[in-house]
Amino acid sequence: METTTIDGVTLYLAHPDELNVPIYGRQEVIDQILACWLTIHEEDLPLTPRLVGKPGVGKTTLAYAAAKKLGKDVYIFQATVDTRPEDLIITPVISEDKKIRYVASPIVTAMIKGAVAIIDEANRMSEKSWASLAPLLDARRYVESIIAGIKIKAHPEFRLCVTMNEDASTFELPEYIQSRLQPQIFIDFPSYEEEKAILKTNLPWLEEKYLDYIVRFLQAAHDYGEPYSIRDGVNIGRLLIKKLHYLKNSSKDPLKILKECIASILGDQALAYFKEFVEDKKPTSKRPFLYPLD
């Protein structure tokens, strides 16, 4: 494990995250993130954008893609309701030789290395945890570890982005934190073409017509404001592949199998949107008619 020393204290650094994630379209979102991270003068500071949207719309993926456009390593911190201030900065652990070892969080590691940190689902954290990051989010650009007794300054090339879900299981951000996390970039569901391309990358062995069925189902649900995501679509597709393979010598209607998969992943209430796209015999700009469903 890589280490560094600050004020006589040895810190053990985290490993960068490597995601194999395809990006289709959404270049305007990536451009917005990159513009926020730009500095145009030696005294200028990068902004810390927050990507806001429903779960599963690709917020973390887009932040990761923007970082990779800069050729930087990416460190992702998964926030939870149990996140403590020390989890965000430095955690003491007992090593094999019974000594205390100070382990830097992904955020602090990115600060030291001049990389990109992403705080995922950041509005699941309490105000107490956010307070420990306040100096990092303004012109001071540092964090302080009470446990290790050191102050850690961010590398000039360090960049930060946070993602936030729009759901009921999150905290309201304190105003002094909201003002530091600007601008807000709202992420909507992907278009039909984007959703299909992402599904195809994740499910390359699934027949084209089944990909279209799943995407049409998702797009129908999006039209009615349901939060079903591409992640749900991938899970439906995975289950469908397995069932089709297992029942390959069966005379069972594949659409009935798809219906069962949707209900298994999302519940029976989701079948309202299965009915919606099956009965929709006319193509629309959102849901192109590509295969007969009879």
The reply to whether 34 and 139 lie within a common domain is yes
How are the residues of the chain apportioned to helix, strand and coil, as percentages rounded to the nearest 5? 40, 15, 40
CATH number at residue 107: 3.40.50.300
The reply to whether 153 and 55 lie within a common domain is yes
pLDDT given for residue 178 in this prediction? 92
The answer to whether position 206 is within a domain reads yes
The reply to whether 166 and 208 lie within a common domain is no
pLDDT given for residue 11 in this prediction? 95
Q: What are the distances in angstroms from CA 214 to CA 24, 287, 293?
A: 18, 11, 12
The answer to whether position 292 is within a domain reads no
Pick the last residue of a domain from 186, 210, 242.
Answer: 186
The reply to whether 167 and 208 lie within a common domain is no
pLDDT given for residue 197 in this prediction? 86
The reply to whether 63 and 143 lie within a common domain is yes
Pick the last residue of a domain from 169, 186, 203.
Answer: 186
pLDDT given for residue 23 in this prediction? 61
Residue 183: how many CB atoms within 10 A of its CB? 13
Segment 26-31 long-range contacts (CB within 8 Å, at least 24 positions apart): 26/58, 26/62, 26/190, 26/194, 29/62, 29/185, 29/187, 30/62, 30/65, 30/66, 30/69
Pick the last residue of a domain from 171, 186, 201.
Answer: 186
The answer to whether position 145 is within a domain reads yes
Q: What are the distances in angstroms from CA 249 to CA 86, 187, 244, 252, 253?
A: 56, 43, 9, 9, 11
Residue 36: how many CB atoms within 10 A of its CB? 19
Residue 9 to residue 267: CA distance in whole angstroms: 52
Residue 162 to residue 129: CA distance in whole angstroms: 14
pLDDT given for residue 201 in this prediction? 85
pLDDT given for residue 249 in this prediction? 77
Residue 190 to residue 234: CA distance in whole angstroms: 14
The reply to whether 198 and 136 lie within a common domain is no
The answer to whether position 271 is within a domain reads yes
The reply to whether 87 and 12 lie within a common domain is yes
The reply to whether 169 and 49 lie within a common domain is yes
Quote the domain boundaries for residue 80. 3-186
Q: How many domains does the chain have?
A: 2
* Mean pLDDT in order along the chain per 10 residues (294 residues): 93 92 76 96 94 87 93 96 94 87 97 97 92 95 95 97 81 89 91 87 90 92 86 94 88 89 94 69 43 39
Query: What letters, b where the CB count within 10 A reaches 16 and e where it falls short, cover 239-276?
Result: bbbebbeeeeeeeeebeebbbebbeebbeeebbebbeb
The reply to whether 230 and 147 lie within a common domain is no
The answer to whether position 287 is within a domain reads no
The reply to whether 140 and 164 lie within a common domain is yes
Q: What are the distances in angstroms from CA 274 to CA 80, 194, 197, 241, 262?
A: 33, 20, 20, 18, 8
